[in-house]
Amino acid sequence: MSLMTGEQYVESIRKMNINIYLFGEKVESAVTHPILRPSLNSVKATYDLASMPEFEDLMTTTSMITGNKINRFTNIHKSTDDLIKKVKMQRLLGQKTASCFQRCVGMDAFNAVFSTTYEIDEKYQTSYHKRFKDFMVHVQENDLTVDGAMTDPKGDRSLAPHAQIDKDLYLRVVERREDGVVVRGAKVHQTGICNSHEVLVMPTIAMGPDDKAYAISFAIPVDADGIVLIVGRQSCDTRKLEGSTIDVGNSEFGGVEALTVFDDVFVPNERIFLDGETEFAGMMVERFAGYHRQSYGGCKVGVGDVLIGATALATEYSKVEKASHVKDKLIEMVHLNETLYSSGIACSAEGYKTSSGNYLIDLMLANVCKQNVTRFPYEIARLAEDLAGGLMVTAPSEKDLNSPVVGKYVQKYLVGADSLPFEKKLKILRLIENLTLGTAAVGYRTESMHGAGSPQAQRIMIARQSNMAHKKAIAKAIAKIED
């Protein structure tokens, strides 16, 4: 098998027995549940677009392992051109779905684990890299969606993993067998795991010698025994249960996250890619974080494009689009959005080849990209809310609009300029609400802050990559200061 169609992907998830809980009750199927289905549709779009000739160059590429055609979301980056096309693909998907399309975490995890396992093998003569390449062939040839899992609950963050009162607050090995290991713990904020075939687990922080049980990386099917997914709440999520196509803002696409519990899950040896080599945990974390911070220069920009377009339409529907302050605010939104994109492209263009053969982004510029993402989408959202007006959050519902009793009042008093029907105006206001305050805000505004690490995490990396000694030396040279 090579590339799946969108419908084939949906059917592949339907056949899985994923253990999902939502509102305290077991979900029979992620494919049919009205809250979960829009999230599945976003992943489906990554398959649909890959089958369209006009998007083939961005959505597909050639595997450096097999030489076969693959979906770019399963790619091991072969060049800076691959890195740049990754960002452009993510912007395209953001424009098409106005939500998180969920396959980026797995793609970023692939590339971090690929190069790290190579370097572990170089030092310890282990076989992690071959195991991982075998896993990647399985993923690429079957066009699988893989969720990358890094963030642990962490408990008392002043303590190392091994020093926690509850030892399970970081995922760890609790039993060793001849054919594999048993792991226990949890991963939090797992975007898209309800829609994934496999989960690729990595450590969450750099570790010391006493943390060997926690220095574990592996891949396992999402419906493996012992894995429990507990879906997180989102603002306005139950609107999807009301049957309204307008009030949800984005009726077709969305995203969900889950607390992912590993309750004594068995992992076979051939699926283990790091096991106790604590000095490499930090490398894996740093590389994954760099790739994922690069990703935000694409996906958030695409969603930003939709938000800017919706805001421009809202001003036109109220006939204020020609006001100078309105035009200036829209220009500022575009400026901020394109600045994010330029950071994503820059860190890709400055990427370099690792010893394993895949390409790593420029880590400094990737962290600058994500630092900007923790700020600019908030300003873009603020300007969108400013220009949309208060009706964005006080408008009556679609049921009121269609009510035989009060509908006539809604249409009469909330009509747009030039007698624009309120239904048309409401649709665009609900979309802006969805992107700035509703369910999509999790994948745009809030995720811009915390996804791929908090702002302080990027500042730490920027400090490490700043090469301050070199900057001091060139300043001394210009000032003619001799030591």
Q: Which domains does the chain have, with CATH numbers?
A: 6-277 (2.40.110.10), 284-467 (1.20.140.10)
Unique residue bearing structure tokens 């452009």: 88
Q: In what order do the strands lie in the sheet with 272-275?
A: 146-149, 198-201, 216-221, 272-275
Greater confidence, 125 or 447? 125
Question: Where would I find the H helices in 36-195?
Answer: 37-48, 56-59, 80-97, 104-124, 128-142
Please tell me the distance from the alpha carbon of residue 244 to that of residue 262, in angstroms, as a whole number. 36
Given pLDDT bands bounded at 50, 70 and 90, which one contains residue 16? very high
Q: Residue 1 above 70 pLDDT?
A: no
Question: CB-based burial of residue 81 (10 Å sphere; 0-12 exposed, 13-18 middle, 19+ buried)?
Answer: middle
Unique residue bearing structure tokens 């035009």: 327
In degrees rounded to 5, what are phi and psi of residue 291?
-60, -40
Of 274, 249, 307, 255, the residue nearest 434 (C-alpha): 249
Unique residue bearing structure tokens 């609790």: 174
Of 196, 207, 181, the residue nearest 74 (C-alpha): 196
Of 278, 289, 165, the residue nearest 214 (C-alpha): 278
Lowest mean pLDDT among 172-176, 367-371, 442-446: 442-446
Of 237, 251, 242, the residue nearest 400 (C-alpha): 242
**SS3 (DSSP) at 327:** helix
Residue 447 CA, distance from chain mean position: 8
Compute the half-sphere exposure of residue 433: CA atoms within 13 Å on the CB side of its CA.
22
Compute the half-sphere exposure of residue 482: CA atoms within 13 Å on the CB side of its CA.
0
Which pLDDT tens digit goes with each residue over 142-189?
A: 999 999 999 999 999 999 999 999 999 999 999 999 999 999 999 999
Q: Residue 141 above 90 pLDDT?
A: yes
The two three-digit tokens of residue 460, written as one number: 């730490």
Residues whose CB falls within 8 Å of the CB of residue 29, separated by 6 or more in sequence, listed in order: 14
Please tell me the distance from the alpha carbon of residue 308 to that of residue 443, in angstroms, as a whole number. 16
Residue 335 CA, distance from chain mean position: 23
pTM greater than the 0.95 cutoff: yes
With contact defined as beta carbons under 8 Å apart, do 75 and 61 qualify?
yes
Of 385, 418, 414, the residue nearest 311 (C-alpha): 385
Given pLDDT bands bounded at 50, 70 and 90, which one contains residue 483? confident
Helices 376-388 and 363-373 pack at an angle, to 10 degrees, of: 30
Given pLDDT bands bounded at 50, 70 and 90, which one contains residue 190? very high
Predicted confidence at residue 441, as pLDDT, reads 85
Of 325, 329, 324, 297, the residue nearest 311 (C-alpha): 329
> Which of the residues are catalytic?
100, 104, 191, 257, 292, 296, 299, 447
Predicted confidence at residue 442, as pLDDT, reads 86
Residues whose CB falls within 8 Å of the CB of residue 157, separated by 6 or more in sequence, listed in order: none
Q: Residue 423 above 80 pLDDT?
A: yes
Lowest mean pLDDT among 16-25, 58-67, 211-220, 234-243: 234-243
